[in-house]
Amino acid sequence: MGRVGLTAERVTVVGAEVADEVGFDRVSMSEVARRLGVKDASLYTHVRGLEDLRGRIALLAADEKTIGIAEATVGRAGKDALVAFANAWREYAHRHPGRYAATQTPIQIDPELVAKAAGPRRAVELTYGMLRAYGLEEPDLTDAVRVLRSTFHGFVTLEAAGGFAHARSPQQTWDRALDALHILLENWPSSREGDSP
Amino acid sequence: MGRVGLTAERVTVVGAEVADEVGFDRVSMSEVARRLGVKDASLYTHVRGLEDLRGRIALLAADEKTIGIAEATVGRAGKDALVAFANAWREYAHRHPGRYAATQTPIQIDPELVAKAAGPRRAVELTYGMLRAYGLEEPDLTDAVRVLRSTFHGFVTLEAAGGFAHARSPQQTWDRALDALHILLENWPSSREGDSP
DNA sequence: AGGATATTCCTAGAGGTCCTAGGAAAACGG
DNA sequence: CCGTTTTCCTAGGACCTCTAGGAATATCCT
């Protein structure tokens, strides 16, 4: 058998494909090796092990998702940007459920890899940029970013887990939620004032 | 060796403990058997297999969480109820991270078990009840419920995954988020009107 | 070019997991 | 008290992760 031309990247991509097809928690060295036409032991030259592979898939997903959002929001502002941002997020989760699930993982990822990945950093910049139009200042800005991320993430996660009964289509709720979030950002309770009684 | 007195319930509870200690995805038949002082094969009398056990843990968690929320919100209304509801949700996730993670699982749960579990049904009633004070009507009510669940779930999930950098404490953001959601519910964009341009 | 070196992929195997099949001992019911 | 049911066991197959060390292939250097 000659060489197949394995690479950490190729292994990661195949792993991501497996994740999307059968679920992130069912990604296995054996399956990835099988798809690459290689014995499982051969993968350990390129990837430290299963945990490492999972971490790499998570980083890949974070990068891809960020790129999708960046492309969708470029040149937009205000509600336009908000909607584009949110839809790109959700579409990524739909298109790549396994990869998206990988991003939820509380796994210890190799710090060296994280440093190389541009995704997370850029995602923060994108989100803050999108909110600029709403005129929020710190610490409200951070709070608003976290609320948006929570809502988007929670929605697509619940949606994927079948958490929304069939009564009303998730799409309709989603559109409504974006309207609501837009209003929320415009009326954000400034941290200057106290609570209204 | 005499009998130990195994039961589907005991197996489930020990499984839940394992989940909270080492993570839901690391729950294994072997580990549960070990803790019960029993061979792993013995568990199959009480539980169909690993998937079944995971499903049972998920249902247990759903029930417990619902009970916690019910106790916290009883006799409250309006923002008071909202805050109590949300805090009970988050506290359950903090106290039982593994069990909480179980509730995210898109696992096929035995329908017979689901029918017996009161949790999900009651959770829906509770949430709708909590929102009564805001005067929403269908389909806004459903949309609002979904947005709240998404935000709560997304927040605690991101928090657990270390998604919030240390700059600002999650607790502060959480309190702010509840203020914001309260305002959001009061200004909910009714489905009667069209979008404002 | 050709030999030394480094890298890739292999075989072999240990140890862990899930799960089934069938047996022995304990609890239960008449 | 004896037959039946239930519980837990041993045994073992199939699969998974990961390590160790070997053979084949690419690469580098003079």
pTM above 0.75, yes or no: yes
Three-state DSSP class for A64? helix
Residue B130 domain-assigned?
yes
Residue A28 domain-assigned?
no
Task: With a cut of 70, say whether residue B197 has pLDDT above it.
Answer: no
Residue B53 domain-assigned?
no
pLDDT of residue B195: 43
Q: How many domains does chain A have?
A: 1
Residue A141 domain-assigned?
yes
As ranges, strand D nucleotides with an atom below 7 A of a protein CB are 6-12, 15-21, 24-26
- Residue entry with tokens 């699982």: B105
Instruction: Kindly list the residues from chain B whose CB atom is less than 8 angstroms away from the CB atom of residue A86.
Output: none
pLDDT tens per residue, range A79-101: 999 999 999 999 999 999 999 99
Protein CA A20 to sugar C1' D16 (Å) = 20
Burial class (CB in 10 A: 0-12, 13-18, 19+), A40: middle
Please give the Cα distance from B178 to B78 (Å, whole number).
12
Chain A, 122 to 161: residues with Cβ < 8 Å from chain B are 139-140, 142-144, 146-147, 149-155, 157-158, 160-161
Residue A67 domain-assigned?
yes
Domain that holds residue B78: 58-186
pLDDT of residue A8: 97
Count H helices and E strands in chain B, helices first.
Answer: 9, 0
Q: Is the CB of B50 under 7 A from strand C?
A: yes
pLDDT of residue B193: 53
A111 Cβ under 8 Å from any chain B Cβ: no
Please give the Cα distance from B197 to B190 (Å, whole number).
15
* Partner-chain contact B160 A105, CB within 8 Å: no
pLDDT of residue A180: 96
CB atoms closer than 10 angstroms to residue B80: 14
Protein CA A1 to sugar C1' D29 (Å) = 28
pLDDT of residue B125: 85
The domain that holds B135 is classified in CATH as: 1.10.357.10
For residues B172 and A195, the model is more confident at B172
| Non-local CB neighbours of A29 within 8 Å, separated by 6+ positions | A40, A43, A49, A50, A53
Task: With a cut of 80, say whether residue B119 has pLDDT above it.
Answer: no
Instruction: Kindly list the residues from chain A whose CB atom is less than 8 angstroms away from the CB atom of residue B176.
Output: 140, 143, 147, 189, 191
- Residue B180 to chain A, least CA–CA distance (Å): 6
Residue B44 domain-assigned?
no
Q: How many residues does chain B have?
A: 197
pLDDT tens per residue, range A117-172: 776 778 888 888 899 889 898 899 999 999 999 999 999 999 999 888 878 999 99
Residue B160 domain-assigned?
yes
Residue A26 domain-assigned?
no
Task: With a cut of 60, say whether residue B137 has pLDDT above it.
Answer: yes
Token couple for A124? 């923060």
Please give the Cα distance from B58 to B8 (Å, whole number).
14
